[in-house]
Amino acid sequence: MIDLILTIIGEILIAVGVFCSLVASIGMLRFPNFFVRLHAATVGSMGGSFLPIIGAGLIALGSDFPDKWMFFGGLIVAAIIVMLVSPAGSHALARATHRARVAPVEPKVTDHLKEDEDEKEGEKD
C-alpha cells in the first residue's frame, strides 16, 4: 500500500515537472528580455528538474529494486544540489548582466542595485 502511494506521489511530481518544463520553454520563447527570461529558466530548473528528481526518488523507493535506498539517497543529494545551485547561478547571471548593462531592466518597479551603484560613484567623486 505504502509503495503504491509513494509511486503515485512520484508520478504526480514528475507530471508537475513536465508541466513546469513546458511552461518554462514557452516562457523562454515568448518573454521579452533577459531578466524575465531568466525567471522562466529558473522555473524550468526548479520545477522542471528539482521536482522530477524527487519524484524519481520516490518511485525508486516504492518499487522493489535491490538497494533502492541507495538510489533514493543519490537522487535526493542530486535534488538538493540542483535546489541550491540553480537560484545562486541565476542570481550571479542576473547580477553580472545588470553590472555589464547589456540588457534593459524592464519591467521594473525600483532598481536598488542601480541606486547602490550610483551612491558608490557619488562617494568616489
Partner 1 sequence: MNTKTVISLLVIISSLLAISYAIADQATGVIPQTGLRNLASFYLENTLNPSNKSYWTASPEATSAIVWDYRGFDTFFETSVFYLAIVGCTLVFELYEPPKSKTTKQTELGLTIIVKVITKIVGILIVCVSASIALHGQLTPGGGFQGGAALAVLPILFIITMSRFALDRKVNDTSMIIIRALGLCGIGITVILPLFLGFITNNNAYIIQNQMKPDALVSLPSTIADKMMGGSLWMLNVSEYIAVGAGFTLAFLLLSLPERSFKKILEEEKYATY
Q: Per CB under 8 A, does 119 bind partner 1?
A: no
Q: Per CB under 8 A, does 91 bind partner 1?
A: yes
Q: Which is nearer to partner 1, 26 or 84 (CB)?
A: 84
Between CA 125 and CA 120 the distance in angstroms is 9
Residue with cell 541550491: 84
Reading the block at residue 105, the C-alpha cell is 531592466
The phi, psi pair for 15, rounded to 5°, reads -65, -40
Task: Candidates 4-12, 58-66, 75-83, 104-112: pick the segment binding partner 1 (CB under 8 A).
Answer: 75-83
| Site residues for partner 1 per CB under 8 A | 70, 77, 80-81, 84-85, 87-88, 91-92, 95
